[in-house]
Structure 1
């Protein structure tokens, strides 16, 4: 039975399903104040730095945020997309979502709305949830672009999504995705990128260093599954490539603060490898769905420099999956699995 609305009833948009992809975030610019705003939001997140506010905030506001915006701004400036006026992460995320939107439109017409948001910075999660609700999305799949679960990545992205829902008068039904590091299509896309990378190199590397973003070791001991998922991710990649243990190793980068983090540290390990005779290595960073400051500046500048200074000769970086077609198809497949019952 079709219910007839009263003449004075507010007009309702046609029902849609929303798929909202999310990434970490990016400053609006590399100037001091843009960097300070971004770093303040990021480093004030209790999922990222879980020290008590009374202890952490004075250090953050009085010390870190007076110095770090300048050094971080210089790092961003070295990789900034000046033509588009944005960071590479923003450029790549836009390209990913444009392809994802085309895939869903080809299959489902205008019944599925695809967009993206950032956990920190713009476009905000709250603004994009509000846009989807206003457009008629009464069901939203929230899809953080992190293959592995960590409280400081997927966990905090989900937190922000749930906070955004709290602002809606009529909340849409909502779902979040599971970690997808072990999804066969994703693993295959990752392996294909390694195979392409190796084929383009003049000499086969002695070792593939699989570098993941780090976290304090304490988080692992408190129950965060990230470390275990990273180890399994490397194993699945190795098995898909048909390699043995001697051809691949796992490390962790981006150490911050005084605590012990997950080891081995990438910057130290590549130097050790060079001194041990591994003069030709390749590095890949599968915890990132898109190239960003940690891959374009940290890996290709700081970590590469540590390897060369220690006696290394050839350092090759295999890019993130970015908007590679195999990656896009894997993401579409994962989304469709999680949209069961909402789309046909």
Structure 2
């Protein structure tokens, strides 16, 4: 009779890598140009043929946009730590998750798809810490090839350079996860309770993608609709109270609609006096939420005749936000710790 096979060992050290979109290192033109060049050279982000896109990128965009983008980042820059809010909040998420998992011995780190710290540098750091099992978490609730997929690409590209690879798991998108829907609902309810007015309309403003990407199979708009539908059910609101809009369009193509800025303007011109907006597709507040929505969208609404506008912050490193991250990470660590 043969001896039983030994049980699988769970003694290998596990690690978690949180990955967000990225951030420039500064608001100066050189830092902005370096960041934008990396971001806008990604084939997942801009799918145009390189022969068409690169002359536009290097001949026009990178000679004009860095100064403009730097001025926008300067409005929301965390001057105390000399960094963008996205970096501040992502670091805080990593630190709080590390504390929550302290008793497990799991090593937690964080990286950026564009800019620093890079995915490859953080992977090297985790391997140096002895991590033989790694959970990688793309911090995007709704999947898109322009976000989740490109993080996966870069992570596995870094792995492809290794002779001895760690075992890996990737946290999947979580557009309909109950813990995420509940966290969003509570953050909305908590914020609205502090106001001296009641919004007639609440906008769930998601980052847009070109319509052509969706036609070619990107599931992003369907997952945005899923999140919003579940939120309506949880909050007891209808489609007139909680609307889906899309922001941050770029270039000449038609993007997902309705557009946030156009919707805000139309609501005001139609006589709506009070609205709220939040960004369920963003895990932390950043340029697109703080400057584009809390800043620009508010100005558009007031200029068109609206009276009350409020921006509901992202989940960031709040207890509700951390509950989402910890719940999903612990699920993927199951069997490893």
Give the TM-score normalised by structure 2. 0.95
**Structure 1 CA distance for aligned equivalents of residues 167 and 293 of structure 2:** 40
- Please, which of 252, 255, 258 is the counterpart of residue 249 of structure 2? 255
Task: Choose which of 16, 19, 22 in structure 1 pairs with 2:16.
Answer: 19
List per-residue Cα deviations over 1:110-145 (Å, max 9, x = no partner): 2x1111000000000000111111211111111011
Find 2:205's aligned residue among 198, 211, 221: 211
* Cα deviations by residue, 1:255-304 (Å, 9 ceiling, x for unpaired): 10000000000000010011111110000001000000001111122211
Q: Would the aligned equivalents of 1:130 and 1:168 in 2 still touch at CA under 8 Å?
A: no
Q: Distance in 2 between matches of 1:175 and 1:91?
A: 26
**Alignment map for 1:155-234 (pairs within 5 Å):** 155-234=149-228
Which of these residues, 8, 32, 36, is aligned with residue 33 of structure 2?
36
Displacement over 6 Å in runs of 4+: none
Output the CA distance in 2 between the equivalents of 1:308 and 1:329.
Answer: 35
Asked whether the equivalents of residues 41 and 120 of structure 1 are also in contact (C-alpha less than 8 Å), the reply is yes
User: Hey, what does 1:5 align to over in structure 2?
Assistant: none
- The answer as to whether partners of 1:97 and 1:116 remain within 8 angstroms in 2 is yes
Correspondence for 1:64: 61
1:25–1:118 CA contact under 8 A, matched in 2:
yes
Contact 2:199 2:275 in 1 (8 A): yes
Aligned to 2:239: 245
- Equivalent residue, structure 1, for 2:47: 50
Q: Distance in 1 between matches of 2:101 and 2:81?
A: 26
Alpha carbons 2:278, 2:313 under 8 Å: kept: yes
* Equivalences for residues 1-344 of structure 1 within 5 A: 15-106=12-103, 108=104, 110=105, 112-343=106-337
Across the aligned residues of Structure 1 and Structure 2, the Cα RMSD in angstroms comes to 0.9
State the alpha-carbon separation in 2 of the partners of residues 218 and 227 from structure 1: 12
- SS of the aligned residue for 1:336 comes to helix
Q: Following the alignment from structure 2 to structure 1, what is the Cα–Cα distance between the partners of residues 303 and 75?
A: 21
